[in-house]
Amino acid sequence: MSNSPNPHDDLEGDLSEDLFESAPFDLLRTPVIGPLFRWRHSRTVLAFPLLLVSLAMILHGLLGPTISPKNLATVLTWVHFRGALVLVILIAGNFFCMACPFMLVRNVMRRFIHPRFNWPRHLRSKWIAVALFALILFTYELFGLWSSPWLTAWIITGYFLAVLAIDGLFKHATFCKFLCPIGQFNFIASTVSPLEVAVRDHEVCSGCHTKDCIRGRRAHGSDLVVLQRGCELALFLPEKVGNMDCTFCLDCVHACPHDNVGILSRPPATELMTDPRRSGVGYFSRRKDIAALALLFCFGALLNAFAMVSPAYTVETWLSHVLHIQSQGSILALLFTAFLVIEPAMLLGGAAWMTREWAGVTRAWLPLVLRYAYALVPLGFGMWLAHYGFHFFTGLYTIVPVTQNVFASLGWPILGEPRWMLVGLPKYVVEPLEIGFLLLGLAGSLFITWHLAEEDAGPRRVQAFAPWAAVCVLLFLASIWLMTQPMDMRATMMGG
Which one-letter amino acid corresponds to residue 455? E
The secondary element (H helix, E strand) that includes residue 228 is strand 226-228
226-228 and 217-218 strand pairing: antiparallel
Taking the complex as a whole, the smallest distance from the CB of residue 467 to ligand SF4 amounts, in Å, to 36
Using CB under 6 A as the binding rule, whether residue 434 contacts ligand SF4 is answered as: no
Using the rule CB under 6 A, give the single segment among 46-54, 227-235, 320-328, 338-346 that binds ligand SF4. 227-235
**Rounded Cα distance, 385 and 122, in Å:** 34
Beta-bridge mates of residue 309: 487
* One of 79, 99, 235, 373 touching ligand SF4 (CB under 6 A): 235
Using CB under 6 A as the binding rule, whether residue 27 contacts ligand SF4 is answered as: no
Express the helix, strand and coil content of the chain in percent, nearest 5 each. Answer: 65, 5, 30
Taking the complex as a whole, the smallest distance from the CB of residue 488 to ligand SF4 amounts, in Å, to 36
- Measured from the CB atom, is 136 or 204 closer to ligand SF4? 204
- Measured from the CB atom, is 99 or 233 closer to ligand SF4? 233
* One of 53, 109, 128, 204 touching ligand SF4 (CB under 6 A): 204
Using CB under 6 A as the binding rule, whether residue 105 contacts ligand SF4 is answered as: no
Give 286's Cβ-side CA count (13 Å radius): 6
- Measured from the CB atom, is 50 or 208 closer to ligand SF4? 208
Determine the size of the site formed for ligand SF4 (CB under 6 A).
25
The secondary element (H helix, E strand) that includes residue 15 is helix 7-19
Taking the complex as a whole, the smallest distance from the CB of residue 212 to ligand SF4 amounts, in Å, to 4
Taking the complex as a whole, the smallest distance from the CB of residue 236 to ligand SF4 amounts, in Å, to 7
Using CB under 6 A as the binding rule, whether residue 469 contacts ligand SF4 is answered as: no
Q: What is the DSSP letter of 177?
A: I
Beta-bridge mates of residue 361: none
* One of 56, 59, 162, 208 touching ligand SF4 (CB under 6 A): 208
195-199 and 217-218 strand pairing: unpaired
Q: What is the DSSP letter of 333?
A: H
What is the pattern of x (binds ligand SF4, CB under 6 A) and - over residues 242-281?
----xxxxxxx---x-x-xx--------------------
**Rounded Cα distance, 256 and 306, in Å:** 46
Q: Which of 372, 348, 356 is nearest to 291 (CA)?
A: 372
Contact call for residues 181 and 240 (beta carbons, < 8 A): no
- Binding residues for ligand SF4, per CB under 6 A? 197, 199, 204-205, 208, 211-213, 231, 233, 235, 237-238, 240, 246-252, 256, 258, 260-261
